[in-house]
Chain A
Amino acid sequence: GENVEQHPSTLSVQEGDSAVIKCTYSDSASNYFPWYKQELGKGPQLIIDIRSNVGEKKDQRIAVTLNKTAKHFSLHITETQPEDSAVYFCAARLSNFGNEKLTFGTGTRLTIIP
């Protein structure tokens, strides 16, 4: 089955600096890679996603890059703000004989230092 590894588990950055979170996946058949932000006491919120036919996608201060050859994808947050503090999860979708599932990474707790 699919295995998704996420690093680092915790990350502290100064406000205004950039943050990068990396994930690797095991199954080359994976074709959809969302990123979720989870604030305390809330459910995960989709912030950006990328499909396997695209190498990079950007939405304002957030970008995701995908390297299919190396089987890794990364979340980049620029000009970080205090409200970016949260736990971030990556995920990968594997389609396996019609039985699809999203496998999540173990999360990165991002703290923005004012």
Chain B
Amino acid sequence: AQKVTQAQTEISVVEKEDVTLDCVYETRDTTYYLFWYKQPPSGELVFLIRRNSFDEQNEISGRYSWNFQKSTSSFNFTITASQVVDSAVYFCALSDTPGGYQKVTFGIGTKLQVIP
């Protein structure tokens, strides 16, 4: 069975601080995909990144960066120089279903509040 743990339920930071959101996953498969989504107050989930299990390279996109470590089954997300617009709930997710249908398991989310 697959499982995603986001141990931080809520985080508050002051604007311009860096913040890291933790994600730990469990799966028995060697082939799987990891995702991060952002859910702003409007409610719609916005896709941020997909990473497959064979690619452990860290990725940076502007102020966002992701650290994937198979040895610790973690896929952490860092926001550098946080801004008020980063305030949202962030979900980490895992998919390890073979074939066409994606069975995606979501973590419970981390609510990030960036204080001006």
B is bound to A: no
